[in-house]
Structure 1
């Protein structure tokens, strides 16, 4: 099926990537040459280029009126590679903690107004959590969500959660952003966060931050266990193990100063 016979949305995607690929093979190029190379009308090429320009993927040379790619595609690719590296680097550390504790481990990142799990290891006990890679959960009721939010300014936290409904999944769940902000200050100070039956009755979770080469928090590493297996002694041990793992992962990602001792 030719591009002209494709559904309009598919055809638009094909044209967009055709233009991007053409620009990638030449430093800068004019509309007429692009149109001829891609067998598209100049008006169509112009319209697509203006949209790409408004989104920051294409720049226009003032004198020649030629177009070229910006570094935004590189930034997208670098971000994707960073998460691939993150999962690969975290896997060994998570398996070590899994072997030691037999509990469930999760690695989560911020995506919009929620967290998304990018890696997990199931508990080795028969009772397992109902979670999966790619699943989303609220920021306000998860330990990972709290470590991702605690390093951000108050107004940014409010903006991220501005349209989020604080669903009371248990009586311990935060009711609004104001109560959450009080806890986030504590989380930032102590270097770890907890979910104390806020997401699910009978379940506790502890999380610590993972940093990138810019010393920015890019993920949270957590351990989850039922309350029947929880003790304060285990809590202290697990926090220490999580920090040690997160520090090693962060250092491999280029972080120069992991702020919490192992």
Structure 2
């Protein structure tokens, strides 16, 4: 069947709008020429889209520099879209704070983006050290190469796990990324049995992470919480302590949501 010309044109228009938005997000302030280059569109088209966004209140232009920047209206929309996650953030934050104080390392909270089969970072505590893993909020990472993603994958139902794995491309992201499905499945089984996921230089060279799922009242893993270490700062002698702290945090957050932290159950 031939493509509908109107649909194709509408899709192209949406892609241009999104490209302009992403260019604005990446830059605190940006001029028209630079923005059109980043968005890979003409200056005329970029200017037309920007003016519409200004009229709608999503973008403002500095009168002196003539550069454009996003207003807080887009942030407001994003915050409202996270209202369903309010309970999760409320119960996860104290547990993450305790982990942060106990370890001094980066603590992250991630949820599943079902559309893209990726984990999205929605809350964090930065490390107390200058040299540490940085995970900006909103970052999307593959499930197969992150401890957060593997914690979510390991504890979803077998049917859901199989569907997701069938869609996923196991790209190499770092020196030790698992790119073989059999190896990943074996790792997910270990994760499910012991109650936490782990990755060592699978997502980023020089970094290792440990993560636990957070369960809701229906027993579904709705999020995962992680500790990230630079390899040189991971203390193998404290490994058992790290695991105990992390599992306790996962249990506390799950129980606060009416869920139950579980190991190896269907």
TM-score by length of 2: 0.64
Distance in 2 (CA, whole Å) between partners of 1:197 and 1:98 is 21
2:220 aligned with 1:216: yes
**Equivalences, count:** 183
- Give CA-to-partner distance per residue, 1:103-158, whole Å, 9 cap, x none: 00001111121101111111110013231111100100111111101123445323
- Give CA-to-partner distance per residue, 1:82-121, whole Å, 9 cap, x none: 4111112111211121112110000111112110111111
Distance in 2 (CA, whole Å) between partners of 1:191 and 1:215 is 14
- Give CA-to-partner distance per residue, 1:170-205, whole Å, 9 cap, x none: 231111322211111111001011011111111010
2:250 aligned with 1:246: yes
Match of 1:95 in 2: 97
Distance in 2 (CA, whole Å) between partners of 1:231 and 1:243 is 18
Range 201-210 or range 159-168, more displaced: 159-168
Q: Which runs of 5+ in 2 are unaligned?
A: 1-9, 12-80
Match of 1:119 in 2: 123
Match of 1:147 in 2: 151
Asked if the contact 2:107/2:228 (under 8 Å) is kept, the reply is: yes
Change (3 A) 1:205 1:135: same
Secondary structure of the structure 2 residue equivalent to 1:206? strand
Distance in 1 (CA, whole Å) between partners of 2:180 and 2:160 is 15
Asked if the contact 1:170/1:200 (under 8 Å) is kept, the reply is: yes
Runs of 4+ in structure 1 over 4 Å off: 79-82
Distance in 1 (CA, whole Å) between partners of 2:190 and 2:101 is 30
* CA RMSD, Structure 1 to Structure 2 (Å): 2.0
Match of 2:87 in 1: 85
Bigger radius of gyration, 1 or 2?
Answer: 1
Change (3 A) 1:81 1:251: farther
Asked if the contact 2:133/2:230 (under 8 Å) is kept, the reply is: no
Q: Which runs of 5+ in 1 are unaligned?
A: 1-7, 10-78
**CA positional deviation for 1:80:** 5.2
Distance in 1 (CA, whole Å) between partners of 2:84 and 2:238 is 32
